Amino acid sequence: MSKLLQALLSGVFYTFIIDFLLFLGIFIHYIQFLEIEIFYNILFADNQNITLFIILSIFSGYLIIYLENTKVTLTILGSLFLIVLLSLIPYIGYNAGKIILMKKNVTHKDAKYTFTGDIYYNGRKTITFYDYELKRIIILEKKDLIK
């Protein structure tokens, strides 16, 4: 039981580091580049894929604790670390942010207007939106939108 708990905690710790680095690259090269006003911790907390986090935690915990071949473990976990570290390169971090956060060709309506464009970031209370007609980024309040 102790070894199982150790594997799970080791996996969660490793996955947390990987996750932190991925979202750091997205924050620096996508969020700050587009001048979206959001704190890193909100970005990190609101955009977690819990299923992927659990699967990666179990997998990495198994590799760290149970797999006897350290070369294989270091190769797999080191490769994963280096792949995620690539998000700190501006082009890759920006595109990772686009893949994870952007939704293309979306229509929103409020009481007066219809907005068609791309969602750059869907926050808790606001949506950062690029409007095709206005050709600029606007902030839409979620409470004002008609569902």
Q: Is the pLDDT of residue 1 over 80?
A: no
At 145, the amino acid letter reads L
pLDDT in tens, 99-146: 999 999 999 988 888 999 999 999 999 999 999 998 999 999 988 888
Percent of the chain with pLDDT over 90: 80
pLDDT exceeds cutoff 80 at 147: no
Nearest CA to 114 out of 79, 77, 75, 146 is that of 146
In this model, does residue 34 exceed pLDDT 90?
yes
Residue 111, pLDDT score: 83
Q: How far apart are CA 140 and CA 119, in angstroms?
A: 10
* Lowest model confidence (mean pLDDT) among 22-26, 68-72, 76-80, 95-99: 68-72
Query: What angle separates helix 2-26 from helix 90-101, to the nearest 10 degrees?
Result: 110
| Residue 76 pLDDT level (bands cut at 50, 70, 90) | very high
